[in-house]
């Protein structure tokens, strides 16, 4: 029976994996994976990791020394992995799609709550304060939603916006032909959008795609939504834009310095991250702790695909969901074996 070292375990992870696992010995660890905790995987055949684990070159070298053959990411993102360091040492697989509907629906939930001040009204009525002062929102109908990134989640959110009678425009460096999507460049999207929603991966090119220059181009009173990756937004620039009332409200499920904070309970602690503390204190900022994916359907799909990825690896099959260093590096793609129907190495 193959052994799996499972890092950054939460109760719902253990519940769903134990429910569907049939032939792996899973050792659950609450610790995040990094160079200090990698020793916990000593003797394991595989590691199961998540978005805020630190899988740098040192961590990978240690896992390789301990005999780990594959890292199964139970998420779609992998910007926390040093892919170059992993190449020819440890295979990387992921769950590219688990429930794009979960994330897209949560994104719209953030927008509706922000716009109509539902979170503030909820707190008021619990104290029997039924005043409507300060709770005015806007009609979303006929407003323009600008979607950055038109992968599965972005397209579903675009459809949801259309269901509200909103106009939609989008930016993507790789536009989808004949998809019925109106693509524009970023300056146009910034200028015309009443709502801007981020649905793109975090790369060198998208890092701080919303910075001070971007906010300066935006229509006054814009809503900002981010359920993708925190570092897509320069947090200090967002705070400034909120203070200048360029941004009407921000709905954030991610934060660029979330790694040591999100998924944990710090309610009895003093948070030393001043930027995060300021964002949370803003009445027009709604912050959730990276929960957009958290539905029963998504958790079930994550387990099934993760276990299937491991089954394929240990049975010697081609890895459908392998992350290939050559493909992701974007250079020397002629050396990519995955494009030839083989494993990355």
Known active-site residue 258: yes
Predicted confidence at residue 290, as pLDDT, reads 95
Given a cut of 90, whether residue 111 has pLDDT beyond it is yes
Asked if residue 154 and residue 242 are part of one domain, the reply reads: yes
What's the residue count for the chain?
A: 345
Which has more confidence, 345 or 141?
141
Residues 221 and 168 in one domain: yes
- Cα–Cα distance measured from residue 83 to residue 344, given in angstroms and rounded to the nearest whole number: 11
**CA-only gyration radius of the chain, Å:** 21
Residues 108 and 189 in one domain: yes
- Contact between 305 and 98 under an 8 Å Cβ cutoff? The reply is yes
85 and 35 within one domain: yes
* Catalytic residue check, 91: no
- Average pLDDT estimate for 58-63: 98
Task: Say if residue 128 is in the same domain as residue 216.
Answer: yes
142 belongs to a structural domain: yes
Let me know: does 6 contact 26? Beta carbons within 8 Å.
yes
Q: Which two three-digit tokens encode residue 223? A: 């809503």
Question: Is a pLDDT exceeding 80 seen at residue 325?
Answer: no
12 and 156 assigned to the same domain: no
Could you say which of 91, 155, 290, 338 is catalytic?
290
pLDDT tier for residue 343 given thresholds of 50, 70 and 90: confident
Determine, yes or no, domain membership for 345. no
Question: Into how many domains does the chain fold?
Answer: 2
Which residue range(s) make up the domain with 310?
Answer: 2-98+296-340
Per-residue pLDDT, averaged over 131-158, amounts to 98
Residue 82 CB neighbour total at 10 angstroms: 16
Please give the DSSP secondary-structure letter assigned to residue 150. -
The verdict on 55 and 107 lying in the same domain is: no
**Average of pLDDT values for 261-279?**
92
One of 229, 234, 248, 338 is an active-site residue; which one? 229
Q: What is the CATH number of the domain that holds 212?
A: 3.40.50.720
Same domain flag for 20 and 47: yes
- Judge whether 290 counts as a catalytic residue: yes
- Contact yes or no for 301/99 (Cβ under 8 A): yes
Mean pLDDT of 298-318: 97
């Amino acid at each position: 029976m193959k052994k799996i070292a499972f890092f950054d375990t939460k109760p719902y992870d253990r519940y769903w994996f134990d429910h569907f696992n049939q032939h792996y010995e899973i050792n659950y660890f609450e610790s995040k994976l990094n160079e200090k905790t990698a020793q916990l995987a000593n003797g394991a055949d595989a590691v199961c990791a998540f978005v805020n684990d630190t899988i740098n070159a040192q961590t990978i070298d240690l896992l390789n020394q301990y005999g780990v053959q594959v890292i199964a990411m139970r998420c779609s993102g992998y910007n926390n992995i040093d892919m170059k360091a992993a190449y020819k040492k440890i295979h990387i697989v992921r769950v590219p799609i688990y429930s794009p509907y979960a994330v897209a629906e949560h994104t719209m939930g953030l927008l509706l709550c922000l716009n109509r001040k539902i979170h503030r009204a909820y707190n008021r009525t619990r104290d029997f304060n039924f005043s409507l002062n300060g709770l005015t929102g806007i009609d979303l109908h006929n407003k323009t939603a600008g979607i950055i990134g038109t992968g599965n989640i972005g397209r579903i959110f675009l459809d949801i916006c259309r269901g509200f009678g909103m106009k939609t425009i989008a930016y993507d460096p790789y536009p989808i032909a004949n998809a019925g999507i109106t693509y524009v460049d970023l300056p146009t999207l910034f200028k015309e959008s009443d709502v801007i929603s981020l649905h793109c991966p975090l790369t060198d090119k998208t890092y701080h795609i919303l910075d001070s220059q971007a906010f300066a181009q935006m229509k006054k009173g814009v809503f900002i939504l981010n359920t993708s990756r925190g570092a897509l937004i320069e947090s200090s620039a967002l705070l400034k834009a909120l203070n200048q009332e360029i941004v009407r409200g921000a709905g954030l499920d991610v934060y660029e310095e979330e790694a040591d904070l999100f998924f944990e309970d710090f309610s009895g602690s003093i948070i030393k991250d001043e930027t995060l503390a300021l964002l949370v204190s803003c009445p027009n900022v709604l912050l959730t702790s990276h929960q957009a994916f958290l539905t029963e359907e998504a958790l079930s799909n994550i387990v099934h695909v993760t276990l299937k990825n491991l089954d394929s690896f240990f049975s010697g099959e081609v890895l459908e969901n392998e992350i290939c260093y050559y493909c992701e590096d974007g250079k020397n793609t002629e050396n990519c074996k995955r494009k030839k129907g083989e494993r990355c190495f």
